[in-house]
């Protein structure tokens, strides 16, 4: 097979594309600022969403736009530079083009938000990026096996995604990695790691190629999206979901991730 290493021009909405849209968290009667931002060197924008939490026992009316905070002071810093992030009235979030603030591997970034008389913040470190795969195999039943070399310097967490494409019949389908979607190097530091995903065994004409994406992150990202993936939004009897947070004084996630994309031609 031929493996091509591609750089992904990634936006935050791609990272969330496989997830259900979740309303601002419901915790207690105290209203808190909710801040969510996932940043990547391959994103065209740095995007920050700011809203207020809801009472878990209140009436949910579905008008989540009213929870958005439009007049916050939002800044991002790397310890040397600080940049103000303005509100986008059309997209209803705070954003700047990525070229205005570089994201360098190994640096610590601080996101600060001031609104409604409150000040909250979060910190994150940009991890290393996987630059090549050890191996990729795709059998005739569309079972995909991916292996890559783990980094030895620290605890590492990965999310594995893959999509199969067929140009003749113009369709694309996601692979299902089940428990292999989120992988850490706990007790396997520096080893070759692997993930197994299953495509549609009965896909008409099979796949021309498969795109594999490896997201390198901290444990916070893995925990956050693992819970989010299992969240059943339409179940009226489900308990309120309490997602992990690194926003001091508020609720939410501020996370820097690396994304690697590899295109594999089908056998």
Domain-embedded: residue 110: yes
Domain-embedded: residue 26: yes
Residues 202 and 226 in one domain: no
pLDDT at 99: 94
Residues 149 and 247 in one domain: no
Query: β-strands 171-174, 118-125: how paired?
Result: unpaired
Residues 120 and 231 in one domain: yes
Please tell me the least confidently modeled range out of 7-11, 152-156, 158-162. Answer: 7-11
Q: What does pTM read for this prediction?
A: 0.83
Residues 226 and 199 in one domain: no
Q: Which helix (H) or strand (E) holds 238?
A: none
Q: Which domain holds residue 248?
A: 7-127+220-259
Residues 106 and 238 in one domain: yes
Residues 111 and 11 in one domain: yes
pLDDT at 8 over 90: no
How is residue 25 annotated by DSSP?
A: P
Residues 63 and 189 in one domain: no
pLDDT at 25: 54
Domain-embedded: residue 64: yes
pLDDT at 196 over 90: yes
Domain-embedded: residue 266: no
How many domains does the structure of the chain reveal?
2
């Amino acid at each position: 097979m031929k493996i091509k290493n591609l750089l992904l021009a990634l936006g935050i909405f791609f990272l969330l594309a496989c997830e259900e849209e979740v309303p601002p968290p419901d915790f207690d009667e105290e209203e808190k600022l909710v801040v969510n931002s996932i940043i990547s060197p391959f994103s065209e924008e740095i995007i920050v969403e700011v809203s207020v939490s809801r009472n878990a026992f209140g009436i949910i009316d579905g008008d989540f736009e009213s929870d958005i905070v439009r007049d916050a002071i939002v800044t991002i810093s790397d310890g040397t530079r600080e940049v103000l992030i303005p509100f986008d009235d059309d997209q209803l979030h705070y954003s700047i083009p990525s070229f205005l603030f570089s994201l360098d591997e190994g640096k610590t970034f601080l996101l600060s938000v001031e609104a409604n008389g409150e000040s909250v913040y979060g910190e994150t470190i940009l991890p290393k990026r996987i630059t090549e795969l050890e191996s990729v195999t795709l059998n005739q039943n569309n079972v995909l096996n991916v292996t890559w070399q783990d980094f030895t310097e620290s605890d590492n967490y990965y999310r594995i995604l893959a999509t199969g494409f067929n140009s003749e019949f113009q369709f694309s389908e996601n692979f299902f990695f089940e428990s292999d979607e989120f992988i850490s190097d706990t007790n396997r530091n520096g080893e070759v790691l692997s993930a197994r995903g299953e495509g549609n065994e009965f896909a008409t004409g099979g796949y021309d190629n498969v795109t594999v994406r490896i997201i390198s992150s901290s444990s916070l990202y893995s925990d956050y999206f693992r819970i989010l993936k299992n969240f059943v939004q339409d179940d009226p009897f489900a308990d309120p979901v309490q997602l992990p947070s690194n926003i001091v004084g508020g609720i939410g996630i501020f996370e820097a991730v690396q994304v690697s994309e590899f295109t594999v031609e089908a056998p």
